[in-house]
């Protein structure tokens, strides 16, 4: 998570410049009269620098305000224009001014961070849908390469499996939709836009495949968004990735087993080991980092830990960014890893995409990232920044869930 650092205000810079100018004038008065000209020039230079700095900050502040205005979860009639205006204002800044952009949510990375080529992504928002549609619903990510590999990978696998159905996309995060649109010019439908598109295209059968991990808050919100459309077409909601939640941490299922096996096989391979046991013999543990939630479905993370243990994965640990449930917090996981005697950690997202949480909260350089905290605890850490959605075996779990709903 990025820390928003306080900046020196314009008034502070001006006051400092005036004080410096006054000191120069005072020193000039103590010497020969011929020094007064140079004192005046110094004072003038300081004033010009102060005015320039003030102008740069004001220009940056305008852009920060425009970014903050589109960092919202509600789409309005002004959203498209606001996204275009924010990008145009950013493009008009100098490199020095861009570095000064800082707002409640805005920072230079909003437009400046390279997350890959957005042109490789298909937003799947075309008309001519036909009567049968599979709507793949994701929270979304603004990280272009990850979006193509994960969400795009899942969508392509489903379309390949069911060619007689039209696959379309919807994101539930308007904040992410606005970010991608403003920065890259790519327009992705939100839930209402996607459902209205289905109605206007005469869709009669709609299967909604969420890419969410569990039956959590996002899944609940999804069901609520579908309710007003139930009378307009036949709607079926497929299972999220990890299937039914269960009532206690001992309850696991075939979906959790399949995901545990798939992510571990991928993690072990990417770490360069022949097997999980070989990694353990080398003192290496694997930590899979989920988001975490205060929703009652947070028991899912403990169930995944149970699943790892039942598979005999003694050097695999499940954590969450939010530390909910508590035994998945960074401190708790570090203690588990150290108590088990491991010195090295391969950390990987237990998330569909490798977006902001994976790049910043998990693998970032800030002191509060998981990587930094583990290193501070004396562990050797290697991040694997790859989302679940790019693993072919995981994509096939979604394909199976879609089939069950058809």
Residues that are catalytic: 291
What distance separates the 2 farthest-apart alpha carbons in the chain? 93
For residue 209, give every residue at least 6 positions away whose Cβ sits within 8 Å of its Cβ, in sequence order, or none: 134, 135, 136, 137, 158, 238, 398, 401, 402, 405
What are the tokens at 67? 């970014």
The Cα 119–Cα 125 span in angstroms is 14
Strand order of the β-sheet with 316-320 is 316-320, 284-290, 344-349, 380-383
Q: Which residues pair with 380 in a beta bridge?
A: 344
| Cβ-count burial 286-315 (b if 16+ within 10 Å, e if not) | bbbbbbbbebebbbbbbbbbbbbeebebeb
Contact, 188 vs 118, CB < 8 A? no
Coil/strand/helix, residue 320: strand
H or E segment at 368?
none
Are 284 and 271 in contact by the 8 Å Cβ rule? The answer is yes
């Amino acid at each position: 998570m990025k820390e928003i650092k306080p900046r020196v205000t314009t008034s502070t810079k001006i006051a400092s410049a005036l004080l410096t100018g006054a000191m120069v004038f005072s020193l000039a008065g103590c010497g020969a009269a011929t020094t007064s000209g140079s004192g005046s020039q110094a004072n003038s230079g300081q004033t010009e620098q102060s005015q320039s700095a003030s102008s740069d900050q004001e220009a940056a502040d305008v852009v920060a305000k425009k970014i903050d205005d589109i960092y919202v979860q509600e789409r309005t009639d002004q959203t498209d224009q606001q996204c275009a205006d924010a990008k145009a204002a950013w493009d008009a800044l100098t490199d020095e001014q861009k570095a000064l952009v800082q707002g409640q949510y805005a920072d230079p990375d909003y437009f400046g961070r390279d997350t890959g080529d957005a042109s490789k992504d298909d937003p799947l928002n075309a008309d001519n849908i036909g009567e049968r549609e599979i709507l793949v619903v994701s929270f979304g990510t603004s990280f272009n390469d990850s979006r193509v590999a994960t969400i795009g990978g899942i969508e392509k696998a489903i379309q390949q499996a069911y060619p007689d159905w039209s696959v379309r996309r919807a994101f539930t995060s308007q904040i992410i939709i606005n970010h991608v649109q403003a920065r890259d010019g790519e327009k992705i439908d939100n839930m209402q836009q996607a459902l209205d598109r289905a109605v206007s295209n005469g869709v009669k059968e709609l299967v909604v495949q969420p890419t969410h991990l569990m039956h959590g808050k996002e899944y609940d919100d999804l069901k609520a968004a579908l309710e007003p459309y139930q009378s307009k077409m036949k709607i079926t909601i497929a299972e999220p990735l990890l299937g039914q939640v269960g009532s206690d941490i001992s309850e696991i299922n075939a979906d959790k087993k399949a995901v545990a096996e798939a992510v571990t096989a991928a993690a072990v391979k990417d770490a360069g080991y022949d097997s999980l046991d070989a990694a353990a013999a080398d003192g290496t543990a694997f930590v899979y980092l989920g988001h975490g939630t205060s929703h009652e479905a947070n028991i899912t993370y403990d169930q995944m830990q149970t699943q790892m243990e039942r598979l005999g994965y003694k050097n695999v640990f499940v954590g969450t960014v939010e530390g909910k449930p508590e035994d998945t917090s960074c401190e708790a996981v570090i203690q588990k890893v150290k108590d088990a005697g491991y010195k090295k950690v391969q950390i990987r997202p237990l998330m569909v995409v490798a977006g902001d949480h994976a790049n910043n909260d998990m693998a970032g350089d800030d002191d509060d990232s998981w990587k930094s905290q583990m290193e501070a605890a004396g562990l050797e850490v290697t991040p694997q920044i790859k989302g679940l959605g790019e693993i072919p075996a995981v994509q096939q779990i979604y394909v199976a869930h879609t089939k069950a709903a058809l």
